[in-house]
Amino acid sequence: MSVSEMFAALQGALGQDQDIREEIRKVVQALEQTAREILTLLQGVHQGPGFQHIPKKCQKAREHFGTVRTQMESLKTKFPADQYYRFHEHWRFVLQRLVFLASFVVYLESETLVTREAVAEILGIEADRERGFHLDIEDYLSGVLTLASELARLAVNSVTAGDYSRPLRISTFINELDSGFRLLNLKNDSLRKRYDGLKYDVKKIEEVVYDLSIRGLNKEATAGGGGEK
């Protein structure tokens, strides 16, 4: 084979690779749009009246995740099944965002931490890498850390809305989450850096709880039976 023939073959391979990446990019753009719609919907819980409509907002978000599952099915067909990590960078960010949104919905519904398996089911993908397109552990953890930041914000806005019991429950949840992360030996630099930010979320929530304590509102919250979820 001549040099020109060799490079012609290489160009053909590069062209195929570029075509795959372009197809992936189109689906990822659609996923990003759906994620923005879900986020916009859930942001309403931070406003005063939004606390009264949490179940309805969660139900609507669940409906949007139906679209996510359809888009994920499309994404799975755009690249060879054995080359997940070769193209992983293209959908990593939006997948982490979707993990956060799914975990936020589950928290608002039950005030519990969603499992990786449950998130994978919500998104219509696998939990185990051996079964194909899956939810990487680090993507799951990154999404959960974003949830912590969102709950820190929710704790502040709960007080503004007159819900004094919610920050206490959020504080308990975040402290348990922090304890869980302390059990991990994180070596991924990006994930480690994001975990380092968790301490600021913990501190922010502790300040809210302390302020409630100083004002005597924590006793009012406890006497109220835990408040509305």
Q: Evaluate whether 91 touches 24 at the Cβ level (below 8 Å).
A: yes
Predicted confidence at residue 226, as pLDDT, reads 46
* Spatial distance between the Cα atoms of 21 and 67, rounded to a whole number of angstroms: 22
Predicted confidence at residue 229, as pLDDT, reads 47
150 is in an annotated binding site: yes
* Spatial distance between the Cα atoms of 117 and 128, rounded to a whole number of angstroms: 9
CB burial class (10 A; 0-12, 13-18, 19+) of residue 153? middle
Q: Any residues with CB less than 8 A from the CB of 99 and at least 6 apart, and which?
A: 119, 123, 135, 139, 140, 142, 143, 144, 146
The letter for the amino acid at 35 is A
Tokens of 192: 């480690």
The dihedral built from the CA positions of residue 170, 173, 177 and 178, taken in this order, carries a sign that is positive
- Walk me through the domains of the chain, giving residue ranges and CATH numbers: 7-135 (1.20.58.190), 137-219 (1.20.58.200)
The dihedral built from the CA positions of residue 141, 63, 169 and 212, taken in this order, carries a sign that is positive
Question: What's the DSSP call for residue 134?
Answer: B
pTM for the model: 0.89
List of the chain residues with pLDDT < 70:
188, 218-229
